[in-house]
Structure 1
Amino acid sequence: MGFHHGLSGLNASSKNLDVIGHNIANSNTVGFKNSRAEFNEMVASAMGAASTNNTGIGVSVAAVSQQFTQGVITPSANGLDMAINGDGFFVVQTGTGIAYTRNGAFQLNKAGELVSVNGDKVQGYAIDPATGVRTSVALTNLVFPTGAPIAAKQTDNVKAVINLDARVDHTATPAPARATYGTSLEVFDEQGMATPLAMYFEKTGANTWSVYDSLDPAAEPIGQLTFDATGKLVDVAEYDGTATPPFVSTGGTTLTTTVSTNNPNATVPPGSNPVSDPVVTLDLSGVSQLGSAFSVARLTQDGYASGELTSVNVGSDGTLMATYSNGITRPEAQIALAKFTNTQGLQPDGNNNWVASSDSGPAIYGAAGSGSFGTIQGSALEESNVDLTAQLVGMMTAQRAYQANAQTIKTQDQIFSTLVNLR
């Protein structure tokens, strides 16, 4: 027995206690992954000696391995908090480069950038708000319009789902007032000023209705709807007072009309840019003629006024949906996730971040829920995966091992003392 056996055991037990202490200290750190000290036996052998003559000379710390098991996901009150359920890491841009983390406690900084609690900029994909489709596969900082409102959008399309009462007698005298079968909704010009778009329907034949946009008795219709015997819309014609007959079929189910918004900027001095009245396409494919009362099931339009950002929420695929004060909710970006061939090869970088290494291999980027990537749960955080009970038991075991190794050194010292004191 030599002192180096006990000394190596003390060093190994001390390292084990360091690892356990680090785990316990981070038991409340969001997204933290616990570590485990792993040991190797050390053996000395003489050159050319038989294997049975090899002697043990102690222990060494082979590695401190990370345990990337799933932590418990708990709800939170912050809509920007995110937790990954499954494989993957959030990608962040730090002051020294790209890093990876499981800590999804995110927030917006003063520039509107999505950042971690350390100020690292979260990476993802830009999305076209109009289509919800990625505009690039390159990673970028995720920025939201917090310093200024989003621009208004002019109304281009209106869709109506309406039932016209087939029981109306078009030969009745007097005819029903034009306002009897009418409805309206607000549309917007390019500066976001709202004005009502009215639609009034007058039955002119057994299966035909004229469409007006005004209650003025002198106003001409903007179009005519024709239905078949089952009440299905079969033709939409636009009014053309110069043609004979005055209604010309569009070959589809839409009408076009210009809406006067009464915007004072619509008429401006020469040389400036006037605000034009919106030209709106009315989609009337949802209009029917059935034997039930006139009813408006749905009126929708695609314009809106300017609006301030009010909240951001995340979907399971990482799509960030922004809600604005004008009632618009639209996709603004998508969180990117990364995974690795050998997760154990990641190097801890502090601040609950890891960086790629030659052992981990390069990062593979993708969207949550695709392939083997996990999904993202919004308004939730992944707790540390440290099991405090197991760590405390391990700490007691490591403490006893430390004491036992110290005892071997004490025993060796007593043996040497006996030898030295021989008379």
Structure 2
Amino acid sequence: LVTADGYKVLGYRLDEDGNPTAEVGDVRISKSETKAPTATVRINFKGNLDSRLEEGKEHKADTIIKDSLGNSYTITFTFVKTADDQSGNTWQMYVDRVTEVSTGNYKTYRDENGDFEDSGLIPNDLKLKFDSDGELFEDEIDKVLLTNLSGIQFEKNKSGEDLDESYSPSGTFREITLFDSKDPKTYKNLHQYANDMDAQPYALDGNSSGKLQAYSIDPTGMVVGIFDNGERKNLAQIMLAKFDNPAGLEKIGNNFFIDTRNSGEPQFGYGASSGFGGIRGGVLEMSNVDLSMEFTEMITTQRGFQANSRIITTSDEMLQELVNIKR
């Protein structure tokens, strides 16, 4: 990064976790910068499960999830109305298939005996129970679709059975939370009312790899990369400097200053933090001069000068008359 005058901007690069990778120095951003793919770890649900449906009626809905390599899969959920509760507000939900988006093929999995299942994935059921107001009971949240490096596992109440998945390349799924208690929005959007059925899952995260398209700089000096997969990533941090005695800085032209013994050593920090200003790109620095006041002062000075000029002219004429009288 350089200024409009070609001067290098100081800062440091950040790693994947947002930590500095080196000491303060030149900020370099490669045009070939990429964003690693991320696996889906949270699935949300929205819409309505029709309370008028009879026992045994089903509703299917699907969404796209990503594995650790960014491969896309369609995961299909099935909701079945049950009557194992006096209130009748209970549904069973399960995943009956996972298909690869690029081919449409079903994924094959091993069962608990190590045998391949060719009919898709049949996991344990998950029970969804709604109260009399049509809201999901909070004790039914935190349902986890759990996977590991060797396969895929579905849990019900934290006790599921492992199913080993076979696919190529060897991308893996991650632990997927279906209803996250830490985020009420993940379970407050699914209801059971006497309305049309439109319950729909959707992935809250997960993405394929991306290439850097552009970048922006926020008021704190953070350089944020914008990638073609829609994700953003903090790439670098621009540093600001402050001095104990700013008046001691030496001006070197073009709005640039250098530190001196009188100014003290530079103290580095972030934009918008205590004692530091913010950063705004593509704008001119605002003047601290009140133009209306300056014009008023200028007019007053001009009038004063004109008045003084007339006094001097009058005095000169009086002296000239005195000289003429003497003659």
Find the residue that maps to 1:226 and give its secondary structure: strand
Find the residue that maps to 1:124 and give its secondary structure: strand
Q: Deviation at 1:386?
A: 9.6
Q: Deviation at 1:313?
A: 1.3
- Determine the C-alpha separation between the residues in 1 that align with 2:161 and 2:288: 61
Using CA pairs under 8 Å that are at least 6 residues apart, name the structure with larger relative contact order, 1 or 2. Answer: 1
- Aligned residue pairs, count: 251
- Determine the C-alpha separation between the residues in 2 that align with 1:127 and 1:209: 45
Once the two structures are aligned, what percentage of the paired residues are identical?
Answer: 21
- Determine the C-alpha separation between the residues in 2 that align with 1:368 and 1:290: 48
- Determine the C-alpha separation between the residues in 1 that align with 2:175 and 2:65: 12
Equivalent position amino acid for 1:203 in 2: K
Q: Deviation at 1:297?
A: 7.1
Correspondence for 2:76: 198
Equivalent position amino acid for 1:124 in 2: G
Q: Does 1:165 align with 2:49?
A: yes
Provide the TM-score with structure 2 as the length reference: 0.61
Question: Which of 244, 267, 279 pairs up with 1:376?
Answer: 279
- Determine the C-alpha separation between the residues in 2 that align with 1:336 and 1:232: 49
Q: Deviation at 1:188?
A: 4.0
Contact residue 12 and residue 21 of structure 2 kept, 8 A: yes
Per-residue CA deviation, residues 313-343 of structure 1 (Å, 9 max, x unaligned), is 1222222221111111222222211111211
Counterparts of residues 44-193 of structure 1 (less than 5 Å): 114-130=1-17, 133-135=18-20, 138-146=23-31, 148-165=32-49, 167=51, 169-172=53-56, 175-176=57-58, 180-190=59-69, 192-193=70-71
Per-residue CA deviation, residues 237-279 of structure 1 (Å, 9 max, x unaligned), is 779xxxxxx974118xx9999887x64xx2xxxxxxxx23434
Contact residue 208 and residue 227 of structure 1 kept, 8 A: yes
Per-residue CA deviation, residues 278-327 of structure 1 (Å, 9 max, x unaligned), is 34413323244421444457733433223222111122222222111111
Question: Which of 224, 232, 240 pairs up with 2:137?
Answer: 232
- Determine the C-alpha separation between the residues in 1 that align with 2:5 and 2:136: 63
Find the residue that maps to 2:213 and give its secondary structure: strand
Change (3 A) 1:293 1:282: farther
- Determine the C-alpha separation between the residues in 2 that align with 1:277 and 1:370: 41
- Determine the C-alpha separation between the residues in 1 that align with 2:47 and 2:162: 20
- Determine the C-alpha separation between the residues in 1 that align with 2:136 and 2:258: 65
Contact residue 145 and residue 175 of structure 2 kept, 8 A: no
Contact residue 39 and residue 65 of structure 2 kept, 8 A: no
Contact residue 12 and residue 236 of structure 2 kept, 8 A: yes
- Determine the C-alpha separation between the residues in 2 that align with 1:361 and 1:283: 56
- Determine the C-alpha separation between the residues in 2 that align with 1:247 and 1:303: 21
Contact residue 244 and residue 264 of structure 2 kept, 8 A: yes
Gaps of 5+ in 1: 1-113, 240-245, 267-274, 398-423
Change (3 A) 1:195 1:340: same
Contact residue 159 and residue 299 of structure 1 kept, 8 A: yes
- Determine the C-alpha separation between the residues in 1 that align with 2:39 and 2:246: 50
Counterparts of residues 206-355 of structure 1 (less than 5 Å): 206=88, 207-214=90-97, 219-229=121-131, 230-235=135-140, 236=143, 248-250=156-158, 263=168, 266=169, 275-285=170-180, 286-287=186-187, 288-291=190-193, 292-295=195-198, 299-350=202-253, 352-355=255-258
The structure with the greater share of residues assigned to strand is 1
Counterparts of residues 334-413 of structure 1 (less than 5 Å): 334-350=237-253, 352-382=255-285
Change (3 A) 1:162 1:255: farther
> More deviation in 154-163 or 291-300?
291-300
Contact residue 208 and residue 225 of structure 1 kept, 8 A: yes
Contact residue 163 and residue 293 of structure 1 kept, 8 A: no
Contact residue 149 and residue 306 of structure 1 kept, 8 A: no
- Determine the C-alpha separation between the residues in 2 that align with 1:238 and 1:315: 37
Change (3 A) 1:375 1:221: same
Per-residue CA deviation, residues 334-386 of structure 1 (Å, 9 max, x unaligned), is 22111112112112345543221101111122111111222222342327889
Gaps of 5+ in 2: 99-105, 107-118, 147-153, 181-185, 303-327
Contact residue 144 and residue 177 of structure 2 kept, 8 A: no
Correspondence for 1:5: none
- Determine the C-alpha separation between the residues in 1 that align with 2:62 and 2:197: 10
- Determine the C-alpha separation between the residues in 2 that align with 1:303 and 1:256: 23
- Determine the C-alpha separation between the residues in 2 that align with 1:317 and 1:298: 37
Find the residue that maps to 1:234 and give its secondary structure: helix
Find the residue that maps to 1:344 and give its secondary structure: helix
Contact residue 219 and residue 279 of structure 2 kept, 8 A: yes
